[in-house]
Each structure stands twice: as C-alpha cells, then as structure tokens.
Chains A and B, each alone.
Chain A
C-alpha cells in the first residue's frame, strides 16, 4: 500500500468517525432544543426532522402574512366535513349554548369553557390565508381568542411541550408544539368574515394557525390537553394525520 492511499484511508476513516459522532451529537442537541418532531421515525423521518428543525430555527417568532380586507375571498371553500354526529346535532339544536371546551393535562387549573366565556376574552382578528395540502387556498377574516390567552388562564406547567387538540368528530385530533401554541396568530376561532363561524368551516370552534396547512386547523374543537410527551396519544406520532401518513409538522 502506498503512502498516499494509506493516508487517504486514515483520513477517510477519521472523517467517517467524525461524521458518525457528529450526527450523534447533532441528534442529542436537536432533541434537547425541541427540534425533533413526534413522527421522526420511519423511512421519511429524516426529511420530516430536517424540515421541522429548520422551521423551528427560522420561524419560531415569524408572522404569517396578513392581507387587506379587499383580498378576502368572496367564496371561501369549506371542504367536506363528515356527517354530523348525534352529539353535534343536539348541541347545534341548542345553538351551541352547551358547547364546552375542556382544557386539561399539564395545567394548574383544568377547566371547561363555554363559547360565551371564550367570547368574553380579548378578541383578536386576522385576515390570513388558509392553504390546503391539496393545493387550493382562500383568504378570510378570522375572529377568535388567541390560544395562548386560554393556556395562560389555566396555567401551563414548565415541562409542557405539546398541546393536543380534539374534535367532536371521532378520531380527529392533532397537536402542535408550544412555539405554535403560544404564537399570537394561533386562535381558537369562533368568527369568520364578520359572522359566527359557519358549521361548514368548523363552527362553533375551530383551531386556526395560518403558519400551518389546513389539516392542522381542526374543526369542532372540544378538548385541549397539554402534555410533555406524545407517547400516550394514539400511536405516539402526534395526531390522526401522521397516523394516516401526513406530516405532523404542516408548516412544510
């Protein structure tokens, strides 16, 4: 073996060892700083993790674009919803007076909120775009209470990492990290384009976050659970969409 090839072999070995240990260190740092998504396993885990980690470093505090009133879409596309359950129909017949949002998990004061209570908190408005993973999009004015306001009311424990949210529709739930949960544009939405939020658009209560795709904007919200781990929820991938093959982090 010539000197040159031996040197190359040694250098190559060193580079490989440095690479492997570098990856190990990177993985541990990423975990420590919350850059690893719950759906990081599987063959597409590398891509999902890279996307989420980069977006967390880039967009923790960024704001989705807001539009002038003139750009509000005249015909917002509601997409399809499942036929309403009996429970939903009963609540709808009572004009949602009995609709409750339960907040539990890692909080000081688990609580139930009525829609009137939610409406009594400082109301915020955003004119933002809702974009579906299929490709279509529309702009609407959304009216609601920032999720952070409700979380601050119940007192979130410091070890909290995710907020899991459930729909009244069976098997419909998603989760977001605390950066998105506390983001000023993440709303519990009860109004749209100056009116009550229509049922077709998720009324009476919809999770709204313009920095993620439509499927994270779950309709008919009835429960929030604050947690430090996704392991106890479903398959541990952070939502119904990831279990169905869609990315947990839908900011792309």
Chain B
C-alpha cells in the first residue's frame, strides 16, 4: 500500500506531481503494459462495433420509446438516411445492400472481446489501485474552481506542460471515469436488454429501461456519446502532442518534447 501524502495523494514513485520530481530516466512506464494492451484492444473493438452498429442501424433507421415499435407505428425520431430494407418508409427511392449478417456476427464477437478485455481492465484497476491513484481526483483537486479552470485551459487548446505527461488532469480523470463507469456499463446493459433470451432470464434488465425499444434508443445515444468522446479524446491527444502521447500509450515511454521531433 502506498503511503499517503498530505493532500491524500499516494506518493508512488511513478506518480510525480511536478517535472522536477521526475527522474531523467525511469523504470516505470507512463502506462502499464496492461493498460496499453487493453486500451488498443478496446479501440479495435470500438471501431468494429461502431461500423457494424451503423450497418445494423440502417436496416431500420427509426427509433421508438417503450416496449414496441415498427414501420406501422409513429417513431420517436428517424435518421434521415436510406435503409437496407425496402419496406422502411425513408422517403428515398432506393434501398441499400443488406449487410446485417456479418455485421451482427462481428458486432457480437467484438462485444465479447470488449467485455472480456474490460473485465480484465476492471479487475486490474481495482486490485492495483489504478482507478484510485490515476483516475479518481484527489479531494484537494476536486472543486468547481478547478473544473472551471481546467475547462478553460481545454477550450483554449493550451498545450499541457511536460509534467502533465505523467498524470491525468482533473477533467481527464472525470471524463475517463464517466466513460469507464457510466457509458461502457450502460452500452453493455442496453445491448443485453435487446436480447430476447437474456431478458427472459433477467426481465428487470429491460423493464428498468422502460422497454425493448427504449433500450435500443438509449443504446444509440450512448454510442453517440462514445463517438463524441472518441473525437474529443483524439483532438486532445493531438493538442498535447500526438507523437509523444501515442508513444506513451504504445511503448509506455514518454520522452521529452525534443525527442519527439
């Protein structure tokens, strides 16, 4: 167990608070091997899930609330795109090719890999204190003023200081916690709530979401939120220095700004 600093921050050798405390060469990587490997597996799965999710969506680009909904009932909203089934009233005079077969197979296989990888990550994060040390904001940092100033720095696209390469800032921590502990569980839950077999064993999983069609609609919006996260995430990595941040997530080494040029 790490000794606790005065601000409640564990004083681990690889959690530095300023650049000067950082030794020039270090044994501990910026991101542990497990975090790096699971990060990229999840990334791969996410792209597979997104692509196949879009394919499945275009077979019925209409959304409903409640238990049921079909071409014969009014939708909550429609996505204004052509569909891959000609009975769907899209307003377009043509039908897209049906790609649902392999899309569904890949969607579920990628979901399995993502869930198993996520489980491994969660066990690791809880057992090593990764969540507590690297993601949970310390009590001292968590304040509205801190959040506002962090949002301001992000909105100005300020390039973070070198020292920040060794830890996450407040906004990052809150965002990652939200993605890992809210969006990921919610997208898995709403996905399972669309499985007629799963809901036969766990009916509450779909009743709590107000029905099968509600589950599908929420699944769509959570996916949108994850896409939004991905875009912001990549933009922020770009602002912070794409080469160095990528290197840190691939090799674990941070390097200095000069090295990356």
Contact residues of A with B, CB < 8 Å? 44, 46-48, 50-51, 55, 58-59, 62-65, 67, 71, 73, 75-77, 79-80, 129, 131-139, 210-213, 244-247, 251-252
Contact = CB atoms under 8 A, between A and B. Distances in A.
Contacts of A73: 68, 70, 73
Interface in B51-102: 56-57, 59-60, 62, 67-73, 85, 87, 100-102
Given A133-B104, A137-B70, A213 B196 contact: yes
Nearest to A180: B197
Interface stretch (B106-114, B123-131, B168-176): B106-114
Given A47-B108, A73-B73, A252-B108, A137 B200 contact: no
Given A59-B200, A129-B67, A246-B104, 16 more contacts: A44-B105, A44-B106, A44-B109, A47-B106, A59-B197, A59-B198, A59-B201, A77-B70, A135-B57, A137-B213, A139-B68, A211-B196, A212-B197, A245-B101, A251-B200, A252-B194
B245 interface: no
Contacts of A67: 67
Contact of A252 (B102, B109, B198): B198
Interface residues of B, number: 39
Contacts of B73: 73, 75
A213 B62 CA distance: 18
B146 interface: no
Residue among A64, A76, A131 with max Cβ neighbours from chain B (10 Å): A131
A244 B69 CA distance: 26
A46 B101 contact: no
A58 to B, nearest CB: 5
Contacts of A210: 196, 200
A247 B196 CA distance: 14
Contact of B67 (A47, A50, A137): A137
Contacts of B70: 73, 75-77, 136-138
